[in-house]
Amino acid sequence: MIKVAIMGFGTIGSGVAEVLDINKKSIAARVGDEVELKYVLDLRDFEGDPIQEKIVHDYKVIAEDPEVAIVVETMGGVEPAYTFVKTMLEAGKHVTTSNKALVAAKGAELIALAKEKNVNFMFEASVGGGIPIIRPLNSCLTADEIEEITGIVNGTTNYMMTEMTEKGADFNEVLKDAQAKGYAEKDPTADVEGYDACRKIAILTSLVCGQQVDFEDIHTEGITKITPTDIKYAQAMGRAIKLLATSKKGPKGYTAIVAPFLLPASHPLYAVNGVFNAIFVHGNVLGDAMFYGSGAGKLPTASAVVADVVEMAKNLDKNIPIEWSSKKLELVDYREWENRFFIRTTADKVAVERVFGTVTYVQAEGVTGELGFVTEKISEGDCEKKEAELGNILQKIRVA
């Protein structure tokens, strides 16, 4: 019998308890032993709920119980999650977390601590919800050098962009709808400004390069400035606007960015709609691959957490190495990254061509009084300079 504790009994935490219960038999068969929930750490008492008898309010009860082998952290946020997780690892317990804020900020340190204690710190659910991506990066794509990793890793904004595309609705309207449906939080900043996606691409890039990538270093733009007019242009180009979190390895090193991109219909991420997430990977020998699934939601995310529990339960005496050192990776300045850019302006063609040279104009249905055009491939830095020179810029969206 392997005893588990859950810290934080919100949506994901209660989902983990549910999955451990629903699939009790098949999990026991895979592990070769029964996996049982012993404690739930939460501030609340859950009076009258069957979970009540497992509730504890002090994390030290869990840390000090030698019976508990595996701890699930589903509280969210850096503190007190960090303190609790660190204590559990120091007490020789395996820990899995769904908490991207914690992993992005403290991943390298907690991985090192787990290694030192010969236990495991896993975080499959911290990126892409139920989609297996951390384990595939760590144990499947091991023959490759990963040259690009690009994800639609935020379900809220992908739902919103899909709705804006399909219904022609504007940002605020779609946000209200997403909030009403529970897809967006009351304070949607972390999602719509790209902060959530930024932490996730920091984690993925750290795993790909094996070093610490600080999310604060990643240039991040959200979707708040995308308008129905932009969508019309996208449709005229046969493209879709998606919030991408992407990092690429170039001759000088890794660059990462979070921003809306115009994706062609031929791109595997083009058809990823609604609350679904997907992560596209390009390996130097594998070529293109993509992992698709539910990026959020109670049970899908809990499925990923429990997959970590199963892996740890099968390796109770063994640290499975994860290459992610605390040595900081200096990202190449995003301004050096070359892209084509779609730009909308009230300037005239003479000015546009004087500043940007050869461009391709785009005409969107019913849009007048402005110009829309796509630049040749230029660096982000160049583009910023040219925008300042041209002036009268209404919008800029990267073209993938």
Residues annotated within a binding site: 7-14, 100, 185
Q: Does 291 bind a second copy (CB under 8 A)?
A: yes
**Beta strand pairing status for 393-399 and 359-362?**
unpaired
Taking the least distance from each CB to a second copy, the nearer of 46 and 292 is 292
Which is nearest to 273 in space by CA: 113, 356, 152, 367? 152
Catalytic residue among 3, 93, 106, 200: 200
Angle (nearest 5°) at CA 205 between 199 and 73? 50
Taking the least distance from each CB to a second copy, the nearer of 130 and 260 is 130
Beta strands in 284-388 (DSSP E): 287-294, 338-345, 359-362, 371-375, 378-379
- Binding residues for a second copy, total number by CB under 8 A: 50
Q: Does 91 bind a second copy (CB under 8 A)?
A: no
Q: Does 400 bind a second copy (CB under 8 A)?
A: no
Name the minimum Å distance from CB 133 to a second copy.
9
Taking the least distance from each CB to a second copy, the nearer of 81 and 141 is 141
For residue 50, say if its preceding peptide bond is cis, omega within 30 degrees of 0: no
Q: Is 200 a catalytic residue?
A: yes
The torsion angles phi and psi of 192, rounded to 5 degrees, stand at: -70, -25
List the interface residues with a second copy, window 17-46 (CB under 8 A). Answer: 18-19, 22-23, 26-27, 29-30
Which string of b and e fits 71-106 if b means at least 16 CB within 10 Å?
Answer: bbbbbbeeeebbebbbbbbebebbbbbbbbbbbbbb
Q: Does 145 bind a second copy (CB under 8 A)?
A: yes
Among 83, 284, 346, 360, binds a second copy (CB under 8 A): 284
DSSP summary character for residue 328: B
Q: Residues 270, 254: contact at Cβ < 8 Å?
A: no
Q: How far is residue 173's CA from residue 162's CA, in Å, rounded to a whole number?
A: 13
Annotated binding site for L-homoserine: 185
Taking the least distance from each CB to a second copy, the nearer of 55 and 289 is 289
Name the minimum Å distance from CB 35 to a second copy.
10
Annotated binding site for NADP(+): 7-14
**Interacting residues toward a second copy by CB under 8 A:** 18-19, 22-23, 26-27, 29-30, 124, 130-132, 135-136, 139-145, 268, 270-271, 276, 283-294, 297, 299-300, 302-307, 309-311, 323
Residues assigned a catalytic role: 200
